[in-house]
Structure 1
Amino acid sequence: MNDVDSKYKPIHRRDLTRSFLPALHKKCTSKLQEICAEAKHVSLTLDIWCDRLMRSYFGVTLHTIIDDKYKTFLLSFERLEGRHTSDKLAAEFDRIIQLYNLKDKIVRLITDNASNNLAAFDNIILPGFDDYFDGIIDDSSESEFESESKFNDKETDDYAPAVGEEKQVQTHEADDSIYQTTLDSATEEEFLRLPCFCHCLQLVVIDGIKASAAAVSSLQKVASLAKLSHSSTVFSERLEKFNYTIPRANRTRWNSQFQTVKKVVDIPSSILNSILSDLKKNDLILNSKDRKVLEEFVSLFELFNEATVLTQGESYATICLVAPTVLGILFDLERELGSSTLPIVSLCEALIASIKARFSGLLRYFEIDVPFNTYCMSERFSDVIFLISPLLDARFKLLWLDSLHTFVKLRVVEKIRDAYVRYYSKLNFSVLQNAGANVLNTTEHNIDVMTKTRIHLLNENVFFHI
């Protein structure tokens, strides 16, 4: 820097930590407060994150629309020490709400299914891939997550049971008191706190993986082939000559293992078997039965993989994907189950049962039979926001309901229309308040009259093709 600018004087570490960084933090906080003051309605996502040194952090992200543009900001990323009790989370949540004055603006909170859910997602390993990860060090090792479980409370909903322990279906109500200390409760048809759809989807995948015993031997061959491609240059070079590669699987990303299986299945039998025979690896040759099982395995999990990728978007709204995704996956699995050639029936049945149990609140709208005993957070998917959000997405509108029976579809559309009108009324009521109208004297009759005058418009413009 002396050659670049002889007058440049480096900042002392003490000044950087005591002056510059605190001033920058204060400036960022002030700017976020201005943004929150400008926003009319916000949604928050909350998560507890742990780094490799086992230091825990409580992250809060804000989502809002300002000037017709979708905005996302990180409001807080504070260190959490000790056990993650409800009182500690409530205190930190209240501090953030008060700091940014968000009490009357929060529409929804998206949280994990429990205060400690990391252990349920740390090692989602496909059957047969255990040996593949032996000796491989990932970004997050098992010891880290074992330590994490010591710091956190036991999960109240979905957690990975110990060996020999049977996980019981939870039927109790989810406790929202942690995040409602300073907030008003939502209406009967709405929930302030909603579960993370991506996490629930991963739990369905876990349930399916546990029922994949019929595919273990075939998946073990795939894992061995993947390990061979990453340890033998001869094997990998022979594959590259035919423009084929086998990607490296990640212990903490189930869909990376899925992609490994998919890539192996895509290699023609003639090419793969020829290479393995030349290398004296006949025990790794995939026979016709292995191929059939693996192809069906890929077919059953393909939609889960696509949904996992789509719901990880940060620059666009993903709530509109929930209902079409759940309904599409369920109907696809039921069609697969009805096929007489399905080689792994237990896997398909497990996935269907898990979807019905974990998304029972949503599936009841479509008059689909669901089990009586469901998971405590599954009822949160009965929030009407999951029904009306696809209507506002040009990719879906009402087309995602075409798989339903005609009369069921009409009843669902009626529910969507009622919810849409109700939200429209609330929006008009809010506009009147912001305009300074004397809404305190406005009676429910006046609101109903205002709403009914627009119902015909909704019928003609929104639901005209039903």
Structure 2
Amino acid sequence: MVKVQKEWIKSQLAEASSVAVTTDIWSDRKMRPFLGVTAHTVTEVNHVLSLQSYLLTCERVHGKHTGEKIAMMFECCAEEYLIKNKINFVITDNASNMRKAFQARFLPEPEEDEAAEVHDPRTFMESEDKIWQDLTPEDLETVNATLDENCKMQRLSCFTHSLQLVIKDGLKEASGLSGTLAKLSRTANLLHSGTSFKDCFEAYFGDATVPTANATRWNSILKQVKAYVNFDIQNLAYVLDSEGHKSLILSQREYAQLKELIEVLDPFLEATNLTRGEKTVTVSVVVPCVLTLHSHLQEISGRVRYCGPLVRALENFIKARFTEIFSAVMMPGCEPDEGRGPTKFPFTIAYFVASVLDPAFSFQWLEHDVQLDNSIKGELKSQIKEYIKAEGEKQQSSSSALQLGQG
């Protein structure tokens, strides 16, 4: 059965002129590491284009997962499916700096009936980093060389994971929120531990609850905060006090902190959700999302009272994680390196091209979220259009040559 499926996948990939690959390492509940590689193509049936994805391997990584081993597994997979010379893009977690080979993304989710551990946002996702040993410079060089050798165009960073790291780093800087979030976590812990507190809580709030938060997923923390602020402050304070948990009662200031936190992070959640899709094109939302989030942080920075350090940290970290995008549009503080003007696009040109070719975005991001003179904006537009035209002519030329060769 497996052999038949593999042969079918090979036949599908044989018809594809180009392939994109996503690759990832994660652990199961027993902390056993696995390497996953998925191929993505565009197929045409009756003049209708559709996106297709094929899982090529989900293989256990035994022993110490060195860069050499990961690189060898990836290369063997590419050779087995005969796509080594077809791969245009390889997407990995945080591939822009590759501090670790394929940064681990997923940790085991807690069971719904298990109590959540109290977490500190400053340790957000730290447990995820501890799964893997740091690779030596030699290992990193081996992995990078293998990926580059198998990829005709570019290695790109997973946008969603990079965005997670922005928020992770931001929350670590927001020490003023840690005490408030710890109270929420303890309250959720009480609700999921089957104590008398739960009975008293349900007498006032029915089936409503405070969901547990996974400290490695920032959106679960936001979900917890949103649930908490919807409760009646007075009734919740009474329940906590009557059950001997007066120390967990939030002050008016702490409630205001939480409401402000929602306002700060909600656009990041929307951006994360926009880029989750297997059968839809999501690369075109990267540039609009990054620039819109930056505009959001600049706008909100002047009116926040409690989350100022978080907002400033997020603004700094989003510029650091996506510096290629900001420098390409000559954002203040992220100007291109000397000798590299706006005509010298960084590797992120793929993101700009995808956005421009998407009718939902086109050049709207340039008009609304980039503060440049109209003449410079016009020059930037022209350069992107020229790049798209040149690439289109190159593809058309290659296609014509292929047809002549087959004839």
The TM-score range, normalised by the shorter chain, is 0.7 to 0.9
Distance 1:174 1:365 in 2: 29
Q: Which has the larger radius of gyration?
A: 1
Name the residue aligned to 1:31: 8
Indicate if the aligned counterparts of 1:357 and 1:373 stay in contact, CA closer than 8 A: no
Is 1:335 the equivalent of 2:335?
no
Farther-moved stretch of structure 1 (276-285 vs 390-399): 276-285
Aligned residue for 1:350, secondary structure, equals helix
How has the CA–CA distance of structure 1 residues 57 and 224 changed in structure 2, closer, same or farther, with 3 Å as cutoff? closer
Q: How far did residue 355 of structure 1 move?
A: 0.7
Indicate if the aligned counterparts of 1:249 and 1:260 stay in contact, CA closer than 8 A: yes
Name the residue aligned to 1:291: 255
Aligned Cα RMSD in Å?
3.4
Is 1:176 the equivalent of 2:176?
no
Aligned residue for 2:226, secondary structure, equals helix
Letter in 1 for 2:369: S
Is 1:431 the equivalent of 2:399?
yes
Q: How far did residue 385 of structure 1 move?
A: 0.8
Is 1:264 the equivalent of 2:228?
yes
Distance 2:255 2:230 in 1: 10
The TM-score normalised by the length of structure 1 is 0.71
Is 1:200 the equivalent of 2:162?
yes
Q: How far did residue 45 of structure 1 move?
A: 0.6
Q: Deviations over 1:110-167 (max 9, x none)?
A: 012334455687599xxxxxx95059xxxxx999975x43xx44387xxxxxxxxxxx
Distance 2:105 2:53 in 1: 27
Q: How far did residue 93 of structure 1 move?
A: 2.4
How has the CA–CA distance of structure 1 residues 314 and 411 changed in structure 2, closer, same or farther, with 3 Å as cutoff? same
Aligned residue for 1:181, secondary structure, equals helix
Is 1:210 the equivalent of 2:172?
yes
Is 1:233 the equivalent of 2:198?
yes
Q: How far did residue 318 of structure 1 move?
A: 1.6
Distance 1:380 1:266 in 2: 46
The TM-score normalised by the length of structure 2 is 0.81
Distance 1:174 1:355 in 2: 28
Indicate if the aligned counterparts of 1:330 and 1:352 stay in contact, CA closer than 8 A: yes
Name the residue aligned to 1:55: 32
Farther-moved stretch of structure 1 (386-395 vs 69-78): 386-395
Q: How far did residue 252 of structure 1 move?
A: 3.1
Q: Deviations over 1:423-452 (max 9, x none)?
A: 2112211221232169xxxxxxxxxxxxxx
Q: Deviations over 1:186-236 (max 9, x none)?
A: 4xxxxx211111121111111111111112222222223222332332243
Name the residue aligned to 1:106: 87
How has the CA–CA distance of structure 1 residues 94 and 411 changed in structure 2, closer, same or farther, with 3 Å as cutoff? same
Q: How far did residue 421 of structure 1 move?
A: 1.0
How has the CA–CA distance of structure 1 residues 273 and 410 changed in structure 2, closer, same or farther, with 3 Å as cutoff? farther
How has the CA–CA distance of structure 1 residues 326 and 142 changed in structure 2, closer, same or farther, with 3 Å as cutoff? closer
Letter in 1 for 2:117: F
Indicate if the aligned counterparts of 2:25 and 2:35 stay in contact, CA closer than 8 A: yes
Q: Deviations over 1:333-379 (max 9, x none)?
A: 1111122x4322211111111111111001112211346999xxxx9
Name the residue aligned to 2:122: none
Name the residue aligned to 2:362: 397
How has the CA–CA distance of structure 1 residues 86 and 273 changed in structure 2, closer, same or farther, with 3 Å as cutoff? closer
Distance 1:415 1:373 in 2: 15
Q: How far did residue 238 of structure 1 move?
A: 3.1
Distance 2:204 2:103 in 1: 37
How has the CA–CA distance of structure 1 residues 281 and 50 changed in structure 2, closer, same or farther, with 3 Å as cutoff? closer
Name the residue aligned to 2:378: 410
Q: Deviations over 1:285-335 (max 9, x none)?
A: 322211221111121111222222332322222211211111111110111
Distance 2:297 2:31 in 1: 39
Give ranges in structure 1 of 5+ residues lacking alignment.
Answer: 1-23, 125-130, 136-140, 157-171, 187-191, 439-466
How has the CA–CA distance of structure 1 residues 387 and 352 changed in structure 2, closer, same or farther, with 3 Å as cutoff? same
Distance 2:80 2:345 in 1: 28
